[in-house]
Amino acid sequence: MPLVEWNDKFSTKIPSIDRQHRVILGYINQLHDGIESGEYRGVLDIVLRGLVSYTRSHFAYEEMLFKRFNYEQSAEHLATHQRMVEKIIEFRDLHAKGQSNIGPELLEFLRDWLFHHILEDDMAYSNLMIEQGVQ
């Protein structure tokens, strides 16, 4: 059973961004299901590998839009992205060193990403992007 289902409150009303944000939701549910079923290490491998490349491309996409449309809160948003990238690298390195109990903390980090970064920080740019016709 998925931990979090996509619903309209997660939508920025920007289709490309929503598509990317659904990936985060997918990782949350995949990790949650892995923890529940005991398929723990394999799922951590998949989720962490995915997250490293996902964050690179998703954050770069948002940052490209900020630059193109002169988003006012770009500096704070970029700093948050940077902190998140560092945190993911930290999780990846702990996992690579064989630390076996990072699943719940990673899940908490991803939930915070969804409920805090997406629902607050990302929502803050949505009106500007919609006005600019970003699809």
* Residue 55 beta carbon to Fe ion: minimum distance, rounded to whole angstroms: 9
CB of 39 or CB of 86, closer to Fe ion: 86
* Chain residues in the site for Fe ion (CB under 5 A): 62, 122
Residue nearest to Fe ion (CB): 122
**Do 54 and 23 contact (CB within 8 A), yes or no?**
yes
* Residue 105 beta carbon to Fe ion: minimum distance, rounded to whole angstroms: 21
CB of 37 or CB of 135, closer to Fe ion: 135
CB of 44 or CB of 62, closer to Fe ion: 62
3-state secondary structure of 101: coil
Instruction: Report, in this order, helix, strand and coil percent for the chain, each rounded to 5.
Output: 80, 0, 20
Burial of 98 (0-12, 13-18, 19+ CB in 10 A): exposed
* Residue 99 beta carbon to Fe ion: minimum distance, rounded to whole angstroms: 27
